Amino acid sequence: MADVLKKVPVREQEPAVRAKNFEEVCYGYNKEEAMEEASRCINCKNAKCIEGCPVSINIPAFIHEVKEGNFEEAYKIIGKSSALPAVCGRVCPQESQCEGKCIRGIKGEPISIGKLERFVADYALENDIKPEKAETTNGHKVAVIGSGPAGLTCAGDLAKLGYDVTVFEALHELGGVLVYGIPEFRLPKKKVVAKEIDKVKELGVKFETNVVIGKSTTIDQLMEDEGFEAVFIGSGAGLPKFMGIPGENANGVFSANEYLTRNNLMKAFDPSYDTPIAAGTKVAVVGGGNVAMDAARTALRLGADVHIVYRRSEEELPARVEEVHHAKEEGVIFDLLTNPTEILVDDNGYVKGMKCVKMALGEPDASGRRRPVVVEGSEFEMELDTVIMSLGTSPNPLISSTTEGLEVNKWKCIVAEESNGKTTKEGVYAGGDAVTGAATVILAMGAGKAGAKGIHEYLSNK
């Protein structure tokens, strides 16, 4: 008999093997493992896990169905709340959401809700179980800008309510950050993302790629000329930040966005694709978030020695614990309490190293985290050929600057109400990173749901 205080362990690719390939790290549960893990759930009446879920999936109900072996039923329960369960089961920070609230977690390990969600979603993809679509359409046209997690969720929810939804995507492929940002080894593109998007298509949602709103057309034109009665903006936070230190324009300094886009969206790791990537042999990734981990683990797989350079300590790393753990297992070296001051450049304009200082933690700052301060006389140099800046992103002003009456705050984020996504412009709703600045996939999905609710209320009362 297994220990009920512990999660059923999940099978993973060996670190030494996976550090050299782009195959998915985690294999997920099989039927037996999923049913065993599900049987650990005590089916709380007042389920805290649901409160922890930004899209309020009825977690105990779907887990109950898994325990009984009714996987299709389990998928339908999840499908009522989430359009992208195979994605969320893989990339949600469950430890701080549903699993963080699990009563089982008080005395032992919480239920492995994320891995169960992934199992159910993968089962549905493999067995081609269709989502339930609206019986009739109501003829109201809604435009959704951006095909990332916020846009897909909003579009899916509105289609289920009978709306005629078109999603506009600026890039040539659908999925937003799910395809350009998150790497293959964490979220397979063909096997998971494309199939999950197919399910949204099956709901009747139309998609148009290669349309940059603000350039190819504008929100006002969509509403005036093309008959869209409401618009949801889920355009994400696309603009990369740099440090502003000397040498940052040298060849070999990339934003994490560029490095990851070349590899993930343009598939530079695969020689049958034309886009090149200068993988680097000695790489430093500056930053400590999930994106930094993704960039570091990508560089590692492309054959480089990789260091994470982060100015605070391990405790403050914003990345998920699982990602840090995986990165370490694979051989990424963490240079913590270290901050770059200059990028050293050779005569031809290429990176040859980076000057850094050591940091110590002082008093807590506004974010509540202890402020890093420079240790006097601690300057040192790292020998490198590539530096990847992973310092966060800010929203792209292309839409806000071309839409009359759409208010933004001082960080260029679109001002929108949290409960329904309502912006300062009538009929226009927004959510996800475009509103909050860079956050997580699931928070964007939560905002997409809220936006769909807001648009439904607006058009129902119009």
Residue ranges in contact with another protein by CB under 8 A: 170-172, 180, 209-212, 215-217, 238-240, 242, 248-249, 251, 254-255, 257-258, 261-262, 266, 272-276, 278, 348-349, 396, 398
**Residue 241 CB, nearest distance to another protein (Å)?**
9
Q: Within 10 Å of residue 251's Cβ, how many Cβ atoms?
A: 14
Between 94 and 257, whose beta carbon lies closer to another protein? 257
**Residue 12 CB, nearest distance to another protein (Å)?**
30
Between 9 and 246, whose beta carbon lies closer to another protein? 246
What residues pair up with 345 in beta bridges, in sequence order? 351
Between 348 and 461, whose beta carbon lies closer to another protein? 348
Between 350 and 369, whose beta carbon lies closer to another protein? 350
Hey, is 278 helix, strand or coil? coil
Between 66 and 389, whose beta carbon lies closer to another protein? 389
**Tokens representing residue 84 in the block:** 């992208």
**Residue 181 CB, nearest distance to another protein (Å)?**
10
Between 61 and 194, whose beta carbon lies closer to another protein? 194
**Tokens representing residue 50 in the block:** 């649901």
**Residue 279 CB, nearest distance to another protein (Å)?**
11
**Residue 396 CB, nearest distance to another protein (Å)?**
5
DSSP per position, 395-430: --HHHHTTSTT--B-TTSPBP--TTT-B-SSTTEEE
Residues 6+ apart with CB under 8 A from 56: 50, 81
Letter string b/e over residues 376-409, b meaning 16 or more CB atoms within 10 A of that residue's CB: eeeeeebebbbbbbbbbbbbbebbbebbeebebe
Dist CA 421 CA 128 (whole Å): 32
**Residue 393 CB, nearest distance to another protein (Å)?**
8
Dist CA 350 CA 249 (whole Å): 9
